[in-house]
Amino acid sequence: MDIQKNLKEVLAQLPPNVRLVAVSKFHPNEAVEAAYAAGQRVFGESREQELSLKQAALPKDIEWHFIGHLQTNKVKYIAPYIAMIDAVDSYKLLAEIDRQAGKCGRVIPCLLEIHIAEEDTKYGFTFDSCRQMLEEGSWRELKNVTVSGVMGMATNTDSEDEIRREFGRLRDFFNELKERFFSDCDTFREISMGMSHDYPLAVEEGSTMVRVGSKIFGERVY
Ligand SMILES: *Cc1c(COP(=O)(O)O)cnc(C)c1O
């Protein structure tokens, strides 16, 4: 695995306005260090314990994103340092992030995870449940989180049309939310979509942030 070569190939395909979250979950510290040495500073992890161990051991200017399902009882461990929480899927979680961020004197940027795939998964807001949560309005009182955009995962399929449709829906939904709830916030600006097998499509459909793991670090051994 030539991590630095893979990283450069991915970066070369991204327009300047699209940021890369290098997803290092299940890969050792050495893999992160190799990408770091090539200039990468933004990394994504999906398990709290693994992330906390890496955060303690690795350079402090790394911006860590939490990209997986986060249990509310784990928020306190990552609140002191996490750069962004990419997959907020309930108001309850957002409120707990706010509470823990407040204790650390921080404001934590968060993305709302939207369920866009055909597949059933347990996580993510539906379009309607997300609208309802925002309409209800309590989130406006949370001063220690910033709602910075949306995140979604397309169906794992070979159909480019299907993937494109799903990413297109997420982009349209972002635009709807921007207009209805965030027209005066320039911090609501991220559309996080695109993984190893579909990030070029995601970029064409308006992604501002791709989360790429195996294409850079190789297949994960679980
Ligand atoms: C693991 C993971 C990724 C990266 O997946 P690859 O297919 O390895 O690029 C991206 N986003 C989320 C939410 C993930 O859990």
Domain of residue 196, residue span: 3-213
Whether 219 is covered by a domain: the verdict is no
Whether 222 is covered by a domain: the verdict is no
* Threshold 0.85, pTM exceeds: yes
How would you write the pLDDT of the chain (222 residues) with one tens digit per residue? 799 999 999 999 999 999 999 999 999 999 999 999 999 999 999 999 999 999 999 999 999 999 999 999 999 999 999 999 999 999 999 999 999 999 999 999 999 999 999 877 778 999 999 999 999 999 999 999 999 999 999 999 999 999 999 999 999 999 999 999 999 999 999 999 999 999 999 999 999 999 999 999 999 887
Residue pair 123/69 in contact (Cβ under 8 Å)? The answer is: yes
Whether 220 is covered by a domain: the verdict is no
> How many domains, the chain?
1
CA of 126 to the centre of ligand 1 (A): 20
Does the Cβ of 195 fall within 6 Å of ligand 1? yes
Does the Cβ of 148 fall within 6 Å of ligand 1? no
CATH of the domain at 147: 3.20.20.10
Whether 221 is covered by a domain: the verdict is no
Whether 126 is covered by a domain: the verdict is yes
Whether 218 is covered by a domain: the verdict is no
Runs of H (alpha helix) within 38-159: 48-57, 75-78, 91-103, 127-136
Which DSSP symbol is given to 156? S
Q: Considering only CA atoms, which residue is closest to atom 10 of ligand 1? A: 211
Whether 146 is covered by a domain: the verdict is yes
- Joined together, the tokens standing for residue 34 give 């190799």
Whether 149 is covered by a domain: the verdict is yes
Does the Cβ of 115 fall within 6 Å of ligand 1? no
Residue pair 172/212 in contact (Cβ under 8 Å)? The answer is: no
Taken in order 128, 67, 210, 183, is the CA torsion positive or negative? positive
- Joined together, the tokens standing for residue 110 give 């968060």
